Amino acid sequence: MGRKKKDKRKSRGRSRRSTRPTAVDYAYRKAVREADRALAESQVEIGADNWQEVALDWFTADARDRGELSSYIGSHKSRLGIGWARDLLRLEVFLRAGDHEAIMAHHDRAMTRYPRCALVDTWVAEQIGRQGGDWWRARSLLLYVVEQLPGHARPRYELGFQHYLLGDFPGALAWFDQAVERLAENETDFGAQVHFNRGMVRYALDGDRKAAIADVQTALRLRPDYEQAQEALRGLQGKPRWRPW
């Protein structure tokens, strides 16, 4: 009997030690406090009567994304509420601050408690892949997003970028083509990036200089101060020192 009691006490001790907060826990809690402070300074008040409107107004100004988020809220209203809206706004604060560690931690610790949201996955996947280096997890998120958001360009561009990094230029071009087809009129800076990278992949894939020039020129029409595209255009038009990588 004595041994059993002793073992039980040891087990409890191990359990207590295993649940002690880590440095990562402390960092995340600090980030949440800072996000809440930023929201308070912006005089954001979330209540039972306005949580949907606050979430829509804060998280996105894009009309298409706003429509998607509104549809998501309508489909899952009974499982959302004030807590979800507060967590969504915290995520937006982290995104605006470019706090990559907080973005990924908040997604895993908070946003996964709610029904899956394709818009949230879109923004978080980029952080998980580009900043966290977990490309396979990012790819899984993005493949889900392209099914849920058939008209959005960004997840397709991110998938194309992944194929490019892997050296799969045909795969990259296929995703970039899909992204170009879905660009919205107000996505000028992002559209310039998509066209530029598609042009570079076209040239790297089979030396299609004419198609590459057309894409780079489109990128410059969308963003005239795009220095990388300016340099690429000079190279494609005959400057010998320029290379596409």
Total-model pTM: 0.78
In the predicted structure, residue 235 carries a pLDDT above the cut 80: yes
The answer on 163 and 107 residing in a single domain is no
- Considering only CA atoms, give the Rg of the chain: 23
The answer on 167 and 106 residing in a single domain is no
In the predicted structure, residue 219 carries a pLDDT above the cut 70: yes
The answer on 86 and 36 residing in a single domain is yes
- Residues 190 and 183 sit within 8 Å (Cβ to Cβ): yes
Q: How confident is the model at residue 212 (pLDDT cuts 50, 70, 90)?
A: very high
In the predicted structure, residue 152 carries a pLDDT above the cut 50: yes
Q: What is the pLDDT of residue 79?
A: 95
The answer on 38 and 123 residing in a single domain is yes
The domain that holds 200 is classified in CATH as 1.25.40.10
Q: How confident is the model at residue 197 (pLDDT cuts 50, 70, 90)?
A: very high
Q: What is the mean pLDDT of the segment spanning 52-78?
A: 87
* Mean pLDDT taken over the chain: 87
Q: How confident is the model at residue 131 (pLDDT cuts 50, 70, 90)?
A: confident
Per cent of the chain over pLDDT 90 is: 62
Q: What is the mean pLDDT of the segment spanning 30-53?
A: 93
Q: Which domain holds residue 29?
A: 24-138
User: How many Å apart are CA 106 and CA 169, to the nearest integer?
Assistant: 34
* pLDDT tens-place string over residues 105-125: 999 999 999 999 999 999 899
How many domains are there within the chain? 2
- Residues 107 and 131 sit within 8 Å (Cβ to Cβ): no
- The region that residue 178 occupies, defined by phi over 0 for left and psi between -120 and 50 for alpha, beta otherwise, is alpha
The answer on 134 and 29 residing in a single domain is yes
Q: What is the pLDDT of residue 239?
A: 56
The answer on 122 and 96 residing in a single domain is yes
The answer on 132 and 77 residing in a single domain is yes
The answer on 166 and 118 residing in a single domain is no
| Last residue of one domain, picked from the residues 138, 168, 201 | 138
In the predicted structure, residue 240 carries a pLDDT above the cut 90: no
The answer on 196 and 224 residing in a single domain is yes
Q: What is the pLDDT of residue 245?
A: 47
How far out from the chain centre does Cα 113 lie? 18
